[in-house]
């Protein structure tokens, strides 16, 4: 099932908020009926117009911005619908959207800008300067450790406070034996060439898994752009994304 929203008329009057509420209500009414359909539930595709800010020059269509949040809720409460959000601009040809729908792509959040296909990715990112806070550590009850803020850059080593883990019944708070060597040793991704699997993060073109690292981080949405000629291959799949990315902040509740 594909739901197409009306194009943005460019007007920002007092009725824009009313039209935005009506868009959300209309999608809610449709979503309520889908679980009641007998047999296999159809996959829900919603095509919006400039509802997301993908490129720096994008001007968001606030009338349809609420649909993105609703689609996230629907996807979490009704995973069997495989909710897919496709955001397009006024320059994208309908042929590209049709090919994406027929390709059966598993991407659930995509966007088209100037006939180029973008997919959303979550990736860890360092905290911004205004997000970094200082504190006083009481060594009798709290912990402090040294960590590298930017992997591979030893100039970004800093002390970070952390919560100590209460020892279990078979453990003791007594200090450990002194190490045989006190020379600091670090593993730097920029110089280490040993293949590693455990603890490393592999970002595949279609992977959406994200796990936070041990240090303080924030989360960003990363838009990955494909090549300009983004057409399904003979196997019916869209071409893989290239390397350029766009990051946008996630609000943390």
Per-residue pLDDT of the chain (253 residues; tens, 9 = 90+): 888 887 765 566 677 788 888 889 999 998 888 877 777 778 899 999 888 888 888 888 888 888 988 998 998 888 888 899 999 988 888 899 899 999 888 888 999 998 889 988 887 777 777 777 788 888 778 888 888 887 788 888 888 888 877 777 776 555 555 555 445 554 554 444 444 433 333 333 333 333 334 445 555 556 666 543 444 443 344 444 433 344 444 344 3
- What pLDDT score does 85 carry? 92
Q: Which helix (H) or strand (E) holds 116?
A: strand 116-126
Give the predicted TM-score (pTM) of the model. Answer: 0.54
Pairwise CA distance, residues 37 & 114, whole Å: 37
* 143, β-bridge pairs: 162
Domain ranges of the chain: 2-124, 129-161
Pairwise CA distance, residues 103 & 101, whole Å: 6
Distance of CA 156 to the CA centre of its chain: 26
Contacts of 74 (CB under 8 A, 6+ apart): 31, 44, 81, 83
Q: Which helix (H) or strand (E) holds 120?
A: strand 116-126
DSSP state, residue 103: H
* 158, β-bridge pairs: 147
Specify the CATH number for 2-124; select among 3.30.70.3420, 3.40.190.290, 3.30.420.40, 3.40.50.11460.
3.40.50.11460
Q: What tokens were used for 11? A: 């007007």
Each residue of 33-76: pLDDT tens digit?
A: 887 777 777 889 999 988 888 888 888 888 888 898 899 899 88
- What pLDDT score does 223 carry? 63
């Amino acid at each position: 099932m594909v739901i197409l929203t009306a194009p943005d008329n460019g007007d920002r009057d007092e009725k824009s908020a009313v039209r935005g509420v009506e868009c959300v209500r209309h999608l809610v009414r449709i979503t309520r009926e889908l679980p009641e359909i007998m047999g296999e539930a159809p996959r829900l595709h919603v095509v919006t117009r400039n509802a997301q800010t993908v490129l720096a020059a994008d001007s968001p269509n606030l009338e349809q911005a609420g649909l993105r949040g609703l689609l996230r809720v629907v996807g979490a409460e009704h995973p069997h619908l495989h909710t897919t959000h496709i955001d397009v601009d006024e320059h994208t040809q309908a042929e590209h959207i049709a090919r994406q729908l027929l390709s059966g792509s598993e991407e659930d959040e995509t966007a088209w800008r100037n006939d180029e296909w973008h997919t959303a990715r979550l990736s860890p990112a360092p905290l911004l300067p205004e997000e970094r806070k200082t504190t006083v550590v009481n060594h009798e009850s709290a912990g402090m450790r040294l960590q590298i803020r930017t992997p591979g850059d030893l100039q970004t080593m800093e002390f970070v406070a952390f919560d100590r883990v209460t020892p279990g019944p078979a453990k003791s708070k007594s200090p450990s034996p002194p190490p045989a060597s006190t020379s600091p040793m670090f593993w730097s991704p920029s110089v280490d060439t040993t293949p590693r699997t455990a603890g490393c993060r592999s970002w595949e073109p279609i992977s959406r898994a994200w796990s936070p690292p041990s240090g303080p981080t924030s989360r960003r949405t990363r838009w990955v752009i494909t090549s300009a000629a983004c057409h399904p291959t003979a196997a019916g799949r869209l071409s893989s994304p290239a390397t350029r990315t766009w990051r946008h902040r996630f609000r943390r509740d």
